Chains A and B, each alone.
Chain A
Amino acid sequence: MKTLLKSCVLAISLLLGAISAQAQKSGGTLVFLVQPEPPSLAAYVSTSGPIGLVAPKVYEGLFDYDNDGKIVHVLAESHAVSADGKTVTFNLRKGVTWHDGKPFTSADVQFAIMNVLSKVHPRGPNTFSEVESIDTPDAHTAVLNLKKPAPYMLRALSAYESPMVPKHLLEGTDIKSAKLGNKPVGTGPFKFVEWKKGQYIRLDKNENYWRKGLPYLDKIVGRFIPDASTRTAAMENGEVLYGAYGAIPNIDAVRLKKRDDISVTTDGYSMINPMALIEFNTKKGAFVDAAVRKAISLAINREFLIKNIWFGYGKPATSALTSNFSATGLHAAMPNFPAKGDTAAANAVLDAAGFKRNSDGVRMTAVLDLIPYGEDWRRAGEYLKQAMGDIGIKLDLRYEDVPTWLRRIYHKYDFAMNVNYFYQLPDPVLGVHRHYGTNMIRKGTHFVNSSRYSNAALDKLLAAGMIEPDATKRSAIYKDVQKILAEDMPVVNLFELQFLTVYNTKLKGAYGSALGAYGSFAEAWIDD
């Protein structure tokens, strides 16, 4: 009797297992939103968002990262780091070919890192700054010789961040304007077919993909729809199945979420770590005094911003680093970041620093520049104007178009206070150092230290944090970094943005990578 019962239970559980593990279906076309239309598909020259949506389906990296941030080997079958941290060996996968049929070898890796990524990629020169040379003892081994240990480098080897590109198509050409830029040839699950400007990019299944049986989809089409409401309508209608990075505005996403056939997720952005913030001009204007910047951080009700402007998608900042760095032990919550704001404390700081109110209750006036990337930022500006008014700082808002704004902030430094957002990326070395280091005051370079904040003690800590392989020591270093920044506040972090991915539930398997929409979609399939 007991055995019968046991076998019944077993049979039922097997049955249940079979039901839950649905068989993936091959075939079908995934139409997804690419917003805006990318300038090119040269992922090795530009990290522009829309390029990231398309290119990682064609190119692959040495690694991918799963939802917990762990390394998944892609073009590297395995890797080893020497005890001193200065030699990194990649054993490359055999039998991988480029879409044009040529074999993928260690020479491609060497060329991609030394001649392409560390030369023309916007972030590559930082990522690979310590790489002195790459040896290729055989066609399937690449050995990176480093000047100093560079633990952060292993977090930046995804297809999006460091795509492996074909040497035979780039060598001897002007890399920045090579034909490959508009017609990518990679090793990935999908082959580039066609780009109809103003309409779509079409990718077809790579029949010779090294992962047998993959990809499931026959085609991927990235559509460009300029109007946000129309994008939402196309999603509602089932004409597109997937839209990430705010392609569907939050206001519509919360409505669509209620439908049975549409889901919303905030997963797939942990390698990006976007942070909304205010940059201050620390050399000129109203905010030269650190006390004022601190008072501003104190006065902002971060929860209000998130709840009312971003529809609840976001997390109040608690230090200069995103809380997602807790996984590597680097994040530490700091004072001066009250989630709900503390107007009284802010006023006290300003009074103590000797900023008196005039007869209208105004201590100082300034212009607040706003990042021209959409209406949400304008609303945030309107909130800030009011909140700062409460502590006697009278703000006027300025909203310009992208080139004008970039010029103002990063070329002319003609601003006092600027609302912006930065990607903190998977490691502070990659995404945060550029904001604070003295060596990152680079006139004319975008998204670096526009505050022109310079602090020798901090520079020393950043340099140490960059090469420290020991996790405990590294977390101590970054704790000190966050302490200094919570006092000096050249940049006031507002909140961790949570981008939304809105998708039709017909689409399965597109969410397994930490890179989310910047992933390969090799395992995505459509359940009709």
Chain B
Amino acid sequence: MSKSGKVFWHILRRLSQGVPIILAIVVLNFFLLNLAEGDAVDVLAGEAGSATPEYMAELRAKFGLDKPLPVQLLVYLKNVASLDLGYSFRHDMAVSELIIDRFWPTLLLMVTTIIIAIGFGIFLGLMAAVGLNTWKDSVISVFALITYATPLFWVGLMMIVVFSIHLGWFPTSGMETVAAFYEGWDRVVDIAHHLVLPTITLSLFYLALYTRMMRASMLEQYGQDYVVTARAKGLTERRITFVHVLRNALLPVVTMAGVQVGAMIGGSVIVESVFAWPGLGMLAFESLFARDLNLLLGIFLLSSVLVVVVNLTVDVIYSFLDPRIEVS
């Protein structure tokens, strides 16, 4: 069978394996979330100030919360099977609509962050490894350590203090200048302008991770026999580093990136909160406290699908990075 045919079958098989995993995640999440005290009606009524018990019972019946849990679960699974994520009673909107609305800002933040974090991470890790034990290595290592150890919210707030309040270069928060309501290219530029601080903040954290990982990975590869062979062949250090070592050293970094894409959806809650970025993380966070379980389950479902897909993608990338790894 040709390689592309193999890859195709591999993807198909992995996807079919993903279905029971996602199903299990849904069921598990459903029961876990229902363990929490109180429900959406409590929160709505609590916020409203006061509500009669009859009114609350009526709401519960309307939301379907008066049915036994297994029935609620079956209803939910049936809906999901027909690609219907249900209804958020709190927002009075379809869950899919809410999620898609918030998915683009998250994706935007996530993709720019990953590109910057991995790009600079690989570059800095490489520099550190090539210049092992020189000042370059020390500076990069210390930088990585500091950014990794600094809490995200603090970095975010300091960014705002320095670049928004004192220098006035960037807006403090939000995704757009809401007073202006720009259209077309002006809007793209405006969003890009708002994207800078949250991206840098979030990237700094991951950047540190990738830098350290890349450095370690490069150093490990330098010790391998094939490097000795390459040297013996008379290859230049430059060629050894960029063609042989770099390519092999990338593998663990790619693995890590795959794992983290999933985490980043939830992991950016802090950055979303500090910069009022309208992403999925905040939506999930708020729905947890509002006990908006339909919405929360929808977000979890999306994240689990995303993790399965990204990991699959990573596997395929492996086979290109290192032809010895075959998809089977």
* Chain A residues in the interface with B (C-beta under 8 A): 29, 31, 36-37, 39-40, 45-49, 120, 122-123, 125, 176-177, 181-182, 196-200, 202, 219, 221, 223-227, 229-230, 233-234, 236-237, 239, 400-404, 406-408, 411, 423, 434, 442-448
Contacts and interface: CB of A to CB of B under 8 A. Distances in A.
Interface string B29-54: 00000001111001111111111110
B12 interface: no
Nearest to A31: B179
A220 B296 CA distance: 31
A407 B42 contact: yes
A407 B52 contact: no
A230 B38 contact: no
A226 B38 contact: no
Contact of A230 (B55, B274, B282, B289): B274
Given A39-B47, A239-B171, A223 B178 contact: yes
Interface stretch (B2-10, B158-166, B248-256, B308-316): B158-166
Give me the 8 closest cross-chain CB pairs, A-B, nearest first: A403-B38, A198-B278, A46-B48, A404-B37, A48-B47, A225-B276, A29-B179, A122-B50
A196 B278 CA distance: 9
Interface string B290-311: 1100000000000000000000
B49 A227 contact: no
Contacts of A221: 178-179
B282 A198 contact: yes
B95 to A, nearest CB: 12
A124 B176 CA distance: 38
A305 B281 CA distance: 36
Contacts of B168: 237
B62 interface: yes
Nearest to A194: B181
A403 B178 contact: no
Contacts of A181: 92
B90 A39 contact: yes
Interface string B104-120: 01000000000000000
B165 A233 contact: yes
Contacts of B178: 31, 199-200, 202, 221, 223
Interface of B: 36-39, 42-53, 55-56, 58-59, 62, 90-93, 98, 101-102, 105, 153, 157, 160-161, 164-165, 168, 171-176, 178-179, 181, 272-276, 278-279, 282-283, 286, 289-291
7 contacts: A37-B286, A48-B49, A233-B160, A403-B38, A408-B37, A443-B53, A446-B50
Contacts of A223: 174, 178, 276
Contacts, number: 167
B46 A237 contact: no
B46 A198 contact: no
Contacts of A229: 157, 160, 274
Given A181-B92, A197-B91, A446-B51, A226 B278 contact: no
Contact of B92 (A31, A37, A40, A120): A40
Contacts of B38: 402-404, 406-407
Nearest to A406: B46
A177 B160 CA distance: 40
Contacts of B46: 402-403, 406, 446-447
A39 B291 CA distance: 12
Nearest to B58: A176
A199 B278 contact: yes
A200 B174 CA distance: 9
A401 B291 CA distance: 10
Nearest to B274: A227
B49 A122 contact: yes
Nearest to B51: A122
B287 to A, nearest CB: 11
A423 B49 contact: yes
A373 to B, nearest CB: 11
A443 B291 CA distance: 21
A226 B50 contact: no
A191 B219 CA distance: 64
Contacts of A219: 179
Contacts of A37: 286
A433 B272 CA distance: 42
A387 B279 CA distance: 43
Contact of A39 (B174, B181, B290): B290
A432 B202 CA distance: 48
